[in-house]
Homo-oligomer: A and B are copies of this chain.
């Protein structure tokens, strides 16, 4: 008993550090205890078990992210700004989104942007079920994109395999297309283009 009393907050903080630096797999109860200088079993008293510790970590981080404020003049650009901001926040915490995925907490991660999206969609003239669908389409689009992005980064040496897609239309009729597909993706660019395209269509539905 050489250390000051252990607190739940202290445990979460140390766990967060561990996950931030080396990913969720590096978070072991024993390793955490060692870092804190306590017995493994003390941790259980404060946070229950590993699963609820991870849940608490997600909750902590999402709260820390807070709500997202749109910028821009038209509803479309404002929605795109929210999407980009949300992607930025999530992307800055790649390990968190790994946890979010494995613990099935995607819903939670939708929320920081929800308020803002609802407001913008509404002011773009969408109402009722159609507005809700637009909000959700954007939420799924953003979170889905980030999930794919992080999964790709996890294994950067993608062995594309022998199943080269080319030689059909691309290589013969449109070499520029083939070249573009052979180049690595620019995620930020692709993201913005995708969201812009999606939002444009969604908002256009209001003017029918």
Contacts and interface: CB of A to CB of B under 8 A. Distances in A.
Contacts of A177: 118, 122, 127-129, 131-132
Contact of A135 (B122, B133, B181, B196): B181
B129 A180 contact: yes
A24 to B, nearest CB: 11
A100 interface: yes
A165 B114 contact: yes
A185 B107 CA distance: 11
A33 interface: no
Interface stretch (A8-16, A77-85, A152-160): A152-160
A180 B101 contact: no
Contacts of A155: 103-105
A201 interface: yes
Contacts of A137: 190, 193-194, 197
A20 interface: no
Nearest to A114: B165
Interface string A64-108: 000000000000000000000000000000000000111111111
B114 A160 contact: no
10 contacts: A122-B173, A131-B180, A132-B177, A133-B190, A140-B144, A141-B141, A141-B194, A144-B146, A147-B148, A197-B205
